[in-house]
Amino acid sequence: MTDFRPKFITFDCYGTLTAFGMSALTRTLLADRVPADRMEDFLDDFEAYRIDEVVGAYQPYPEVICNALQRASKLWGIEYRDEDGRAIVDAVPSWGPHPDVPEALRTLAAHYPLVILSNAADSQIGGNVEKLGAPFHAVFTAEQAQAYKPRFQAFEYMLDQLGCGPGNILHVSSSLRYDLIPAHDLRITNKVYVNRGYEPNVPYYGYDEISALTELPALLGL
């Protein structure tokens, strides 16, 4: 990796750069309906339905969250409340970065153009990016691409907008399912997995693994 000079370093945002607060908020909102000793199972189902919601035709981000929460609630036989889904959506712009992120991004930005590709709406992500504390060349959203990761269309949109090919970027994410697996299938050969404990390591997909973003500059010889 130290010999590779990407044209762009591209990042997933939520979970990778921005601390993902959806599970913590959901625990609070549904504490009156889901027993504490079963909450982790409910959160797993809510996450699974979010993935299912984004692999079809594009729909606005609030619909993704509300539909997934409603389907998970139905599976569990508990009451779904519209205000819970709206509260989750409204909270997203308030989330800030993981502690290891701002310093690493500032170091990288001095040498490479930084890009975000996020499963986000245009209206929500500005606050999150501002809190990252580093300049970005571009921020691409699912709303712009009219497709969410892991759909190829989201990555293809980004590459088209950047005017480069799969071999010209380094893609960085904490998610195999949303990012690194489709990136592998699209022949984005230079990838970094930020292992934040969300998903198991699967080396087959050909990435360098780090445990904090502060390790990324050294991978690039910085």
User: How far, in Å, CA of 124 to CA of 120, rounded?
Assistant: 7
Q: Is the pLDDT of residue 1 over 80?
A: no
Q: Please report, rounded to a whole number, the percentage of residues in the chain having pLDDT higher than 70.
A: 100
Mean pLDDT (the chain, rounded): 97
pLDDT at site 168: 97
Backbone region of residue 34 per phi and psi (left: phi > 0; alpha: psi in -120 to 50; beta: other values): beta
Band of pLDDT at residue 3, cut at 50, 70 and 90: confident
pTM metric for this prediction: 0.95
pLDDT at site 63: 97
Q: Kind and range of the H or E element at 84?
A: helix 82-91
Residues 122-163 have pLDDT tens digits of 999 999 999 999 999 999 999 999 999 999 999 999 999 999
Residues 79-114 have pLDDT tens digits of 999 999 999 999 999 999 999 999 999 999 999 999
Please compute Rg for the chain using Cα positions. Answer: 17
Over residues 209-217, the mean pLDDT reads 97
User: How far, in Å, CA of 53 to CA of 77, rounded?
Assistant: 20
